[in-house]
């Protein structure tokens, strides 16, 4: 029994990209197929904001390009609450061929420092709200990598 919420046409770019097992291909196909439809939404400061599939692909590709240019496309940690920037960072990391290391936004500085010490990420992508915790964790872990704020 098929319990899918929506169906993907058997002959579509999205269906073909699913066969490739590639996030980059999936995102590009979704952008082509669904274009200006909302991909992700969140509530920020009492206002809803959204990013459509095309913009999601464009922004994620920009993150991937930046990671590749800086040679940070190995292990990338994401430390952010649920917000639009989270999936953009995730897809950017995947598009760069890197490994995403998601960390619970409720983690303490000590917990985050432990994760940093054990994974040695090339970069830590975080939300502005968690900057203080991330800075403290980087100091505790004696980690010198870049902290990148995710803020549209």
Structure confidence at residue 45 (pLDDT): 82
Does residue 56 sit in helix, strand or coil? helix
Instruction: Say if residue 149's pLDDT is above 60.
Output: yes
Angle of the 53-69 helix axis to the 23-34 helix axis, nearest 10: 150
Percent of the chain residues topping a pLDDT of 70: 86
47-90 per-position pLDDT tens digit:
999 999 999 999 999 999 999 999 999 999 999 999 999 999 99
If pLDDT is split at 50, 70 and 90, which confidence band does 104 have? very high
**SS3 per residue for 98-145:** CEEEEECCCCCHHHHHHHHHHHCCCEEEECHHHHHHHHHHHHHHCCCC
- Do the beta carbons of residue 32 and residue 52 sit within 8 Å? no
Q: Using CA atoms, how far apart are residues 35 and 52, in angstroms rounded to an integer?
A: 7
Instruction: Say if residue 42's pLDDT is above 80.
Output: yes
């Amino acid at each position: 029994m098929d319990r899918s919420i929506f169906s993907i046409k058997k002959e579509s770019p999205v269906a073909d990209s699913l066969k490739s097992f590639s996030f980059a291909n999936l995102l590009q196909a979704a952008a082509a197929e669904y274009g200006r439809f909302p991909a992700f939404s969140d509530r920020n400061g009492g206002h809803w904001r959204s990013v459509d599939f095309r913009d999601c692909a464009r922004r994620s590709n920009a993150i991937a390009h930046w990671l590749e240019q800086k040679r940070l496309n190995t292990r990338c940690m994401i430390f952010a609450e649920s917000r639009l920037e989270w999936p953009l960072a995730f897809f950017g990391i995947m598009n760069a061929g890197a490994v995403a290391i998601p960390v619970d936004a409720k983690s303490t500085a000590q917990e985050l420092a432990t994760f940093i010490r054990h994974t040695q990420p090339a970069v830590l992508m975080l939300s502005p709200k968690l900057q203080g915790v991330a800075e403290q964790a980087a100091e505790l872990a004696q980690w010198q990598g870049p902290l990148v704020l995710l803020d549209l």
